[in-house]
Structure 1
């Protein structure tokens, strides 16, 4: 059962990346950046994932499915693998790493950074808000902040970020990002830290947060930089939460 679940989740992540390639998403060219128009079709995948997670909070069938997965996973666990503590950041970090190595993305460094910070603020606020409201117990019983998965939300927000910036270069950037994000979610289940419904909701929140950040970027950029030029440096601070620690990240754009 657990192997079938892993396969289905992985295949869904690949579908998420490839399906968005065929969406009728128009881009607006400007002197500052490329911005994405709102399209209701973009809500289908994250909406389905979030809906599955929310329904799973009360659905006896999905709760039983969560328990079955937990039982099968915990039977095979010898020791925890903490790679998910690091892999959650890999997709987003790849965007800046690729740019550093000369592979230019869709947007300028300034706009890319604004989008990243906006996405992270939306994602972290949503995750923390839901955790404080829902109070779902973790599978290992360690705390009551299981829903949704913050690690998974972080990973999928980064995967969508990577997809949007580099999908015009190659579809494989997006597929790789979504594969890493899916692996992060699966390791959260494997390490007995989250239920499948937590991971699904986290994935949906992460994807949607980045989409919203792209939709908002023209307005945020206009407000932040209406009196500044492209060459001026800008500093931004964004909160982070990895499931255990709180903190701030600092971004300086030159």
Structure 2
């Protein structure tokens, strides 16, 4: 794979300088603001630097665009008041949706070994939204579900065996597919 040299400074800033600057501050809300973007940024960086070709990057883009579009439409349609009394864009949590899209992408594409830490950080982002009184648990859970479903719909494992639930014509089971 040929490295894309022009991306190194941007990714260094996205992955290290920007999060560390914000995480150094006291505000739990600011931590969630930063980490919601850091997780998908790491996922995109993995597709650009680890993989050959652009299949992973395209899958990442589809998952992210689907998540953000779904969140935008629901926020404009539902008009739910936030727990802090601000009107009217609480449902679903966009921060949780973005973070969980990145975490589910990492897990789905590269496996649970990378996915578990990503999900833990995404769960912390959801916690920051509840703790800062921007969302309730339902808002965060809905955002997380949107992000996870978007990634699961578009993302395929990078290498190895894929296990997919199967249900059709009264038959149920697991389907195993692989890339060699």
Q: Separation in 2 of the partners of 1:126 and 1:99?
A: 24
What is the correspondence of 1:52-131 to structure 2 with a 5 Å cutoff? 80-98=28-46, 104=50, 108-131=52-75
- Matches of 1:181 and 1:91, distance apart in 2: 8
Q: Could you list the runs of 4 or more consecutive aligned residues of structure 1 that deviate by over 4 angstroms after TM superposition?
A: none
- 2:109–2:155 CA contact under 8 A, matched in 1: no
Aligned partners of 1:111 and 1:82: how far apart in 2?
33
Q: 2:91 corresponds to which residue?
A: 147
CA contact (8 A) 1:89 1:155 kept: yes
- CA drift of 1:99 comes to 5.6
What root-mean-square deviation, in Å, do the aligned CA atoms of Structure 1 and Structure 2 show? 2.0
TM-score for both structures, normalised by structure 2? 0.66
Give the gaps of 5 or more residues in structure 1: 1-77, 216-254
Deviation per residue, 1:134-164 (Å, 9 max, x gap): 1100011122010000000000000011112
How far does the alpha carbon of each residue in 1:153-196 deviate from its partner, in whole angstroms, 9 at most, with x for none? 000000011112211xxx33100110010000000000100011
The alignment status of 1:176 with 2:117, answered yes or no, reads yes
- What secondary structure, in the 3-state scheme, does the structure 2 residue paired with 1:88 have? helix
Aligned to 2:138: 197
Separation in 2, partners of 1:80, 1:116: 27
Q: Distance in 2 between matches of 1:208 and 1:165?
A: 14
Cα distance per residue 1:87-138 (max 9 Å; x no partner): 01222222344466x6x35xx4411111111111111111111111111000
The residue number in structure 2 matching 1:64 is none
- Gapped regions of structure 2 (runs ≥ 5): 1-25, 157-180
Secondary structure at 1:115's aligned position in 2? helix
Query: Highest Rg: 1 or 2?
Result: 1
Count of residues in correspondence between the two structures? 131
